[in-house]
Amino acid sequence: MASNDRDLPDLSGDPQPGDLIEIFRPAYQHWALYLGDGYIINLTPVDETQAAAMSSVKSVFSRKAVVRMQLLKEVVGSDSYRVNNKYDHNHTPLPVSEIIQRAQVLIDQEVSYDLLGSNCEHFVTLLRYGEGVSEQQASRAIGAISLVTAAASAFSVLGLINTRSRNRPF
């Protein structure tokens, strides 16, 4: 579903080929590029099914990604999204035909992935503008990693408590 959040600028609408799509995951934003006819191109972890895509924790720690063409509605799932060509004011988009051609050549290719230097936003802006741009800052990445680490620690502690309580003789 498209985002209707009042705190966000109204950048939503029907995506057009070449548009950047910002998908709001629980702890971060995932980026894709709209190809047309309901399809997007985006980065997914190498060792996961297309359905799991970049929605998993594993994507934060991946060093490689696979370029996939998928249906926008399947990638978004129950999350929200918006068209967000936020860099158009200071970067000139390439012609749509060139954006689509550059994207199609990369489908099913394995590429390097780095949360801070070569992430999904860098990937789609490289396709749209010919230059990888990302405002996703280190503090946001560190915050997401901290959240994942805290959750993993909490589950470990809960598992340890549960195991100890089962092993009591009384």
The residues that are catalytic are 30, 120
**Distance, CA of 165 to CA of 49 (rounded, Å):** 37
Long-range contacts of range 116-124, CB-CB < 8 Å, 24 or more positions apart?
A: 116/141, 119/31, 119/43, 120/30, 120/31, 120/32, 120/42, 120/43, 120/54, 120/65, 121/29, 121/31, 123/31, 123/42, 123/43, 123/65, 123/67, 124/20, 124/21, 124/31, 124/32, 124/33, 124/41, 124/42
Give 153: exposed, middle or buried? Use CB within 10 Å, 0-12, 13-18, 19+. exposed
